[in-house]
A and B are shown apart, each in its own frame.
Chain A
Amino acid sequence: MKHSSAGLNDLPDEILMIILKKLSNIQVLYSLICVNKRLHAIVHDPIFTNCLTLMNYVSVDSIDPLSDRILDQFCLQILPAIHHNIKWLNLESSSMKRILLPTNYPNLYGLGLYDIEIETALSFFSDESCLTSIDKNQILEFVIKHTRYGKVNLWKDINSRILAHIFTTFSNLQYLNF
Chain B
Amino acid sequence: MATTTDSSNTSATTTTENATSKTIKIQSNDGETHEIDQGVVEQSSTIKTLSDLMDLGDVPIPLPNVKGSILTPIVEFCNYHKNDPKPEPLDDDDDDDPNKDIYEPKRSDDICEWDQNFIKRFTVQEGTLFDIIMATVGCKTIANMVRGKASSEVREMFNISYDPPGEGLNAPNAIESQAGTVPTTQDTSATGPSPQPDPMN
Binding site for B on A (CB under 8 A): 1, 3-11, 15, 18-27, 30-37, 39-41, 47-48, 50-51, 53-61, 64, 66-67, 69-70, 72-73, 76-77, 80-81, 88, 90, 110, 112, 114, 141, 143, 145-146, 175, 177
Contacts and interface: CB of A to CB of B under 8 A. Distances in A.
Nearest to B104: A24
B99 A143 contact: yes
Interface in B126-150: 126-128, 130-131, 133-134, 139-140, 142-143, 146-150
B169 interface: yes
Contacts of A22: 105-108, 139-140, 143
- Greatest chain B CB density within 10 A among A30, A47, A110, A112 is at A30
Interface stretch (B33-41, B55-63, B77-85, B186-194): B186-194
Given A19-B139, A88-B197, A143-B198, 20 more contacts: A21-B106, A22-B140, A26-B195, A27-B146, A31-B149, A31-B150, A33-B175, A35-B160, A51-B101, A51-B197, A58-B193, A64-B189, A70-B189, A73-B150, A110-B98, A112-B197, A141-B98, A145-B200, A146-B200, A177-B198
B21 interface: no
Contacts of B92: none
A58 B131 CA distance: 36
A23 B146 contact: yes
Contacts of B140: 22
Given A6-B131, A64-B189, A143-B99, A55 B175 contact: no
Contacts of A77: 174-175, 178
Contact of A34 (B104, B147, B175, B196): B175
Contacts of A47: 103
A6 B195 contact: no
A9 B172 CA distance: 18
Contacts of B64: none
Contact of B190 (A32, A50, A67, A143): A67
B148 A15 contact: no
B151 interface: yes
B148 A56 contact: no
7 nearest interchain CB pairs? A4-B127, A34-B172, A22-B143, A53-B195, A6-B130, A81-B170, A40-B165
Contacts of B146: 19, 23, 27, 31-32
Nearest to A57: B193
A3 B126 CA distance: 5
Given A31-B149, A34-B172, A37-B165, A112 B134 contact: no
B182 interface: yes
Contacts of A67: 187, 189-190
Interface string B93-128: 000001101111111100000000000000001111
Given A31-B146, A141-B98, A145-B200, A72 B181 contact: yes
Contact of B194 (A27, A59, A90): A27
A67 B192 CA distance: 11
A146 B147 CA distance: 27
